[in-house]
Amino acid sequence: MFARLALIGIGLIGSSIVHAARRAGIVDHFAISTRRAETLAEAEALGLGDSYHLDAAAAVENADLVIICAPVLAYQAIIERIAPALMPGAILSDAGSVKAHVVEVIRPHLPEGVHFVPGHPIAGTEHSGPSAGFATLFDRRWCILTPEPNADPAAVKKLSAFWRALGSHVEIMEPDHHDLVLAITSHVPHLIAYNIVGTVADLEHDTKSEVIKFSASGFRDFTRIAASDPVMWRDVFLTNRDAVLEMLGRFTEDLSVLQRAVRSGDGKKLEEMFTRTRTIRRSIIDAGQETAAADFGRPHGKPDGAG
Positions 260 through 289 that interact with its own copies (CB under 8 A)? 261-263, 265, 267, 270-271, 273-289
Distance separating alpha carbons of residues 131 and 45, to the nearest angstrom: 10
> Which 84-113 residues touch its own copies, going by CB under 8 A?
97
Distance CA 171, CA 62 (A): 28
Judged by CB under 8 A, which stretch of 48-56, 78-86, 87-95, 196-204 contacts its own copies? Answer: 196-204
Q: Residue 170, SS3?
A: strand
> Interface residues for its own copies in 125-184 (CB under 8 A)?
125-127, 132, 134, 136-137, 139-142, 144, 167, 171, 180-182, 184
Residues 65-84 touching its own copies, rule: CB under 8 A, are 73
Burial of 79 (0-12, 13-18, 19+ CB in 10 A): buried
Which listed residue (38, 112, 202, 204) binds its own copies by CB under 8 A?
A: 202
Q: How many residues does the chain have?
A: 307
Q: How far is the CB of 48 from its own copies (least distance, A)?
A: 18
Q: How far is the CB of 279 from its own copies (least distance, A)?
A: 8
What is the C-alpha to C-alpha distance for residues 194 and 179, in angstroms, rounded to an integer? 20
Residue 35 binds its own copies (CB under 8 A): no
CA 161 to chain centre: 20
Out of 56, 129, 211, 246, the only residue in the binding site for its own copies (CB under 8 A) is 211
Distance CA 145, CA 67 (A): 12
19 near its own copies, judged by CB under 8 A: no
- When binding is defined by CB under 8 A, the residue of 175, 194, 204, 246 that contacts its own copies is 194
Secondary structure of residue 307 in the 3-state scheme? coil
Nearer to its own copies by Cβ, of 22 and 274: the residue is: 274
Residues 237 to 256 in contact with its own copies, rule: CB under 8 A: 237-238, 241, 244-245, 247-248, 250-252, 254-255
**Applying CB under 8 A, does 221 fall inside the site for its own copies?**
yes
Site for its own copies in 287-306 (CB under 8 A): 287-306
Among 81, 86, 85, CA closest to 70: 81
Identify the bridge partners of residue 154 per DSSP, sorted by sequence position.
Answer: none
Q: Which of 28/126 has CB closer to its own copies?
A: 126
The answer to whether the CB of 94 falls within 8 A of the CB of 115 is no
Beta bridge partners of 119: 145
